[in-house]
Structure 1
Amino acid sequence: MVRITRCGAFTALVALLVAGLSGCGSVAGTPVPGEIDVRTLDVGDFPVDRFSYPQGAGDHGVVLEGIRMSEAVTTSSQVDPSLKFGRGSKVLPDPATAVDFLANVSEPILENRRMVVGYAASGADQGDPAGQTRPTSDATALQVVALRFPDTGSAAKAAGELEAADIGVSPDNRKLESEKYPQALLHWRPGVANIGAFLAHGEFVISLFVQRPAADSADLVSWVDRTLTAQLDQLARFEPTPTADIAGLAVDPQNLLARVVVTDREGHEPDPDQFAVYGRNYLINSADDQPARARLLDESGFETTAYAAGSSVARVRDPAGAPILVNGFIESAGPAYDPMAAPAAVPGAKCLELNGTGDPDRQYRYRCFIPYKNYVGVVSSDDETQIRQKTAAQYALLANSL
């Protein structure tokens, strides 16, 4: 399903609660033959003129490289199709954040070895129980972390030190070996159905945590092997930015963030959840059916998506793919949402409304999907007037931006 939630680093389509707006604003732009005159749309106070954000990353180059690294980490369903429940993914911009996915004693190692940035993703063969953030004990679950260091030497030393620190957490931990990846460092606690692993690969360290229903060391090692195979294949397709060039990364070189409707265009800076441009893996990692999400992205010709202050715009290869993406998002929204009438003046828009089975404390009441040429905008709100204005504003902004 498409998670339609109020917040969270791991949501595919993040949403923002903003104050209700009213009134009808005038919209700049020139109508194109065959299209509506967007100046007639009620867009409230949302800015809809063509716009570009400043491209300088400032002190946020590492965040931008971390966002790029979303395509450097495998999804769980690439390891095994049964692991279809995405448990999300996250940029790791510093050691303090990275230790959320490693042993707490690892932070000094990451600092001493000058960790550059990292990315983490996880998935399982069943969803987490309601209200829980961990898989059940009978689940198969994977956590894959890619950590980048300044050079291969630093990465190799970090892998050995991270493994030693992890083993040292318990006197019961024991080393294991992989015949397929003899350089990988593996350990487990006999009788406990999980395994940890580290592998230095170039300037990266791959960290794995695998949980299985039964404490079988041979089985656990086999899962490490297949996960490393998928991860190394994925990493081979990723081109890291040279460390000397990270500070110079452009914030929005394709000007996609500027096509996302926001209440205020001031004060935005790179942020993994609120101001970022991602590729396909980010959307797959948060899906409850990763293979289905991957098929949707392939069928629609999905290329990239931008998130700005809770709204988003996806770009597909050609206009035929936009309604495919809209319909796929609608179909995967889950039973807590029912169809609702979209603003009639906005061509192709489709909307959803939260029903009685939903959780209004976690989910927005309204969500609308707006196709325009080879783009799809996604907006949300708890206010009916605002969602209609926001939907119209997103369409107008796309029209004025192209």
Structure 2
Amino acid sequence: MRRVSRPRALPIVATACALLAGVASGCGAQTVEGRGVPGMTTVDVASLAVGPFPSAPVDYEPRLETKSDVFAIESRRLFGYLVAPYEIDSEMAALEATRIVAAPGSAFGDSLGVLPAQFEPIAERNRLIASVVTVRSNQKLRAVRNMSLALLRFPSDDAARSAATEFDRAMDELLPNRHALAIPGHPDAVASTADDQKGYLFATRGPMVVMAMTTVPQPDSNALVTQLRTMLDLQLERLTRFEPTPVDQILDLPANPDGIMRLALPPLPVGGGDTARRVQPAGIYDAAGQLHFEPHAAEVQAALASAGVDVVARNDATVYRTRDLDSAFRLQRALTEPREDEQLFDSPPGIADAQCVQRDTDAFDQYYEYTCVLVHGRYVAVVGADGLPGGVLDPSLYQRAAAQYSILARGA
């Protein structure tokens, strides 16, 4: 893997530092040092330029205004049991999307994907409880390989079977010339294709529906069947370990173990700035669930396990709890290892241990162009921002990184 050397200076960083000079809240104040840990560089927390962002832990109040808000708690659990496309084919490693699905919800509507608009009324009619979807590809336009995978939980086995049957029937409208694909070892699975290049599958296990769409570079029904069979073997095995939470007990699930959500930087209140433009499903995840949000998940998976990550808090920043300080630094290195078309850039002022990476993104990428990864004790935090017009680094990234570090220093 190619390592890109850290540039000595970047115009974007110089611009950001200049902009920060006038908003450094706490500059010149009495020094209050962060709690030093052997191996960590001491940080003068009081002098960090946090701008309008909170510099101490903030009590986390999950939004529980609707039924969908409550069901999202169960959806976050589902991520820990969802198979990733790169587990089926290592070439399908580039993350396209990962999200919670709600009915009604904006996740339905991709006529060419695994969740077309025609499926939304079916999900509602069969009382969808929880659902998640992930999409990865090889990002090769002339030899496309991609897969969309979704797990949907319904109230009962009968509701799941009814939904799967209706989903397949709706495909007649989308693919009127499709023909069936037999999936060896799974006689109850329903799979089809119209062109032997893109295949669809619906299967059930208990109250769960497994939905998949996969594409291969050239028309090849055998290749489609192999992809779908491999996926279903893995996914059904993983679901044997999933115990659906009774609906009346979902609110009893741990929502903030050891107060970790207090340690993840929250977005500013509405009207205070667009600090959470990329919608993030806030809440807690296990390491397996967090992998679905990692742009380099196949490479990071071993690092999360090695670091002993037992819980991840996602808000406007992402905080990982590792085994110890050494594990935290090892995870930081794994998260900031530059890949192709990535480069390191300067750390936020005053936080020498931070590592920051710029990656090539586009308007449809759900990941930020610039990210900084911080370490404090056993915690690793990732803060991101998009570039401003002209390729200038948004100075709020350094403010948010400073605020996130300050939160960890004062609360971890």
- TM-score > 0.5, shorter chain as reference: yes
1:89 corresponds to: 98
| Paired AA for residue 406 in structure 2 | A
Does residue 57 (structure 1) correspond to residue 64 (structure 2)? The answer is yes
Q: Which amino acid aligns with 2:94?
A: F
Residues 1:327 and 2:333 aligned together: yes
2: CA distance, partners of 1:236 / 1:105 = 29
- Check conservation: 2:50, 2:399, Cα contact below 8 A: yes
Query: Compared with structure 1, are the counterparts of its residues 196 and 274 closer, same or farther at alpha carbon in structure 2 (3 Å cutoff)?
Result: closer
Q: What do residues 62-83 of structure 1 show as CA deviations (whole Å, max 9, x unaligned)? A: 1222222211210112223333
Helix, strand or coil for the counterpart of 1:230?
Answer: helix
Which of 118, 125, 133 is equivalent to 1:112?
125
Which ranges of structure 2 fall in alignment gaps of 5 or more residues?
A: 2-18, 388-392
- 1:299 alignment partner, one of 302, 306, 311: 306
Q: Distance in 2 between matches of 1:379 and 1:93?
A: 27
1:91 and 1:120 map into 2 onto residues whose CA distance is 6
Match of 1:222? 226
C-alpha separation in 2, matches of 1:245 and 1:277: 17
Q: Is the 8 A contact 2:338 2:357 kept in 1?
A: no
SS of alignment partner, residue 54 of structure 1: coil
Shift in Å, 1:334: 4.7
CA distance in 2, matches of 1:87, 1:33: 39
Cα distance between partner residues in 2 of 1:181 and 1:34 = 54
Query: What do the CA deviations read for 1:68-124 (whole angstroms, capped 9, x no partner)?
Result: 221121011222333322323111021444533334322222121111121111223
Stretch moving more, 60-69 or 288-297 = 288-297
Name the residue aligned to 2:187: 182
Q: 1:164 to 1:390 in 2, by over 3 A?
A: closer
The whole-number CA distance in structure 1 between the counterparts of 2:358 and 2:401 is: 14
Structure 2 equivalent of residue 256 of structure 1: 260
Match of 2:159 in 1: 154
1:127 counterpart residue number: 139
2:8 aligns with none
CA offsets 1:133-157 (integer angstroms, 9 cap, x no match): xxx3622221111111011111111
Instruction: Tell me the distance in 2 between the aligned counterparts of 1:80 and 1:98.
Output: 25
Matches within 5 A, 1:187-336: 187-189=192-194, 191-249=195-253, 251-262=255-266, 264=268, 273=280, 275-287=282-294, 289-309=296-316, 311-332=317-338, 334-336=340-342
SS at match of 2:243: coil
CA separation of 1:57 and 1:181: change in aligned 2, threshold 3 A: same
The aligned counterpart of 2:75 is: 66
Kindly indicate whether the alpha-carbon contact (under 8 Å) linking 2:152 and 2:210 is maintained by their aligned counterparts in 1. Answer: yes
Across the aligned residues of Structure 1 and Structure 2, the Cα RMSD in angstroms comes to: 3.5
Rounded to whole Å, the distance in 2 between the matches of 1:228 and 1:365 is: 34
Count of aligned positions: 371
Secondary structure, aligned partner of 1:154: helix
Mark the CA change 1:55 to 1:307 in structure 2 (over 3 Å): closer, same or farther. closer
| Alpha-carbon displacement from aligned partner over 1:295-349 (angstroms, at most 9, x marks no partner) | 232233333322323x222211222111112112221465343331443x43522
Question: Counterpart of 1:369?
Answer: 373
Counterpart contact for 2:338–2:344, Cα < 8 Å: no
TM-score (norm 1): 0.79
- 5+ residue gaps, structure 1, are 2-18, 129-135
Q: Distance in 1 between matches of 2:225 and 2:357?
A: 45
Structure 2 Cα separation of the partners of residues 248 and 28 of structure 1: 42
Distance in 2 (CA, whole Å) between partners of 1:40 and 1:27 is: 7
* Cα distance change of structure 1 residues 56 and 298 upon mapping to structure 2, 3 Å threshold: same
What is the distance in 2 between the residues matched to 1:107 and 1:331? Answer: 40
Instruction: Specify the SS of the correspondent of 2:144.
Output: coil
Whichever residue aligns with residue 53 of structure 1, its letter is Y
2 CA distance for matches of 1:375 and 1:110?
39
Farther off after superposition, 229-238 or 277-286: 277-286
Percent of matched pairs sharing the same residue: 22
